Amino acid sequence: MKSIWQPGTTLECVRGIQAGTMSPFLGIEFIELGADFLRATMPVTERNCQPMRVLHGGASVVLAETLASTAANCTVDTARCALVGQEINANHLRSVPVGGRVTGRTHPFHLGARSQVWGIEITDERGRLICVSRITMARIERPLTVPTT
């Protein structure tokens, strides 16, 4: 299978662009870059749980959007454009208690000129599906010159 990534895209590059974002705060760790998918893990801790001491649904959505946003931007020349989340949905299927770990995997459904659609599946440590998500990414052009004020 031919790779969908921009030339030079590596797992180390993907990890490097996470500095200074929400990813390190939540413990999101990118672990695998395939020809057409990206995988990351996230621990379930007090930082991302709800009062019932299980993974917060919003944290699952953060993992899903982080995976898909990162992956989408690795398919384009980011000096010319960027892909940003336009719409996301998620179905939460099972809970994960504090102390657990989840793994998300994203892959594209559509890689268009103006938009992309990505699917994300999040599983627990036993491989059980805990959340499915889909995100639409909108392409925005980067300014060619710096605007003056």
pLDDT tens readout for residues 47-97: 999 999 999 999 999 999 999 999 999 999 999 999 999 999 999 999 999
Task: Reply yes or no on whether 65 is catalytic.
Answer: yes
Give the pLDDT of residue 27. 97
**Which is catalytic among the residues 29, 65, 125, 141?**
65
82-114 burial, b for 16+ CB within 10 Å, e for fewer? bbebeebebebeebbebebbbbbbbbbeebeee
Give the pLDDT of residue 145. 58
Domain ranges of the chain: 11-141
Give the pLDDT of residue 142. 84
CB of 27 within 8 A of CB of 42? yes
Yes or no: domain 11-141 corresponds to CATH 1.20.140.10: no
- 8-state DSSP, 13: H
Task: Give the predicted TM-score (pTM) of the model.
Answer: 0.94
Mean pLDDT of 4-16: 97
Give the pLDDT of residue 71. 98
- pLDDT grade for 131, boundaries at 50, 70 and 90: very high
Pairing of strands 129-141, 81-92: antiparallel
pLDDT digits (tens, 9 = 90+) for 17-46: 999 999 999 999 999 999 999 999 999 999
Res. 141: pLDDT tops 60 = yes
Mean pLDDT of 3-27: 96
Res. 105: pLDDT tops 80 = yes
